[in-house]
């Protein structure tokens, strides 16, 4: 067994592989990553509640603006068509 290769199993003098050490280290690393992920997600959730609803209000305002613009365009086209239809003899 090479001492320079840390990926190989560590063996004791009697030949037993020490997988439990590797499993323990892996579990510790995964637990730390999970804690970091959960902490980050919790910060996103709690931070998002301070301005909750602002996106919805913005979408309503944009929808109202689009509806108003469409109404103006439809009114202009209707008036144009009505005027041109009145000119037909």
SS3 14: coil
Residues 4-32: tens digit of each pLDDT: 555 555 555 544 456 567 777 888 888 88
Tokens encoding 71: 């109404």
**Contacts made by residues 68-71, CB under 8 angstroms, sequence distance 24+:** none
User: Is residue 71 scored above 70 in pLDDT?
Assistant: yes
| Rounded Cα gap, residues 42 and 45, in angstroms | 5
What value does the mean pLDDT take over residues 37-48? 80
Sequence ranges of the domains in the chain: 1-51, 53-89
At 31 the pLDDT is 87
| Residue 56 pLDDT > 60 | yes
DSSP state at residue 11? B
Q: Is the torsion defined by CA of 81, 83, 87, 89 positive or negative?
A: positive
């Amino acid at each position: 067994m090479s001492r320079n290769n840390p990926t190989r199993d560590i063996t004791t003098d009697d030949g037993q592989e020490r997988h439990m050490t590797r499993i323990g280290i892996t579990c510790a690393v995964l637990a730390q990553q999970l804690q970091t992920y959960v902490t980050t997600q919790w910060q996103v959730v709690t931070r998002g509640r301070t301005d909750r609803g602002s996106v919805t209000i913005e979408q309503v305002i944009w929808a109202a603006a689009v509806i108003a613009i469409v109404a103006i365009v439809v009114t202009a086209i209707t008036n144009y068509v009505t005027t041109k239809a009145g000119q037909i003899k």
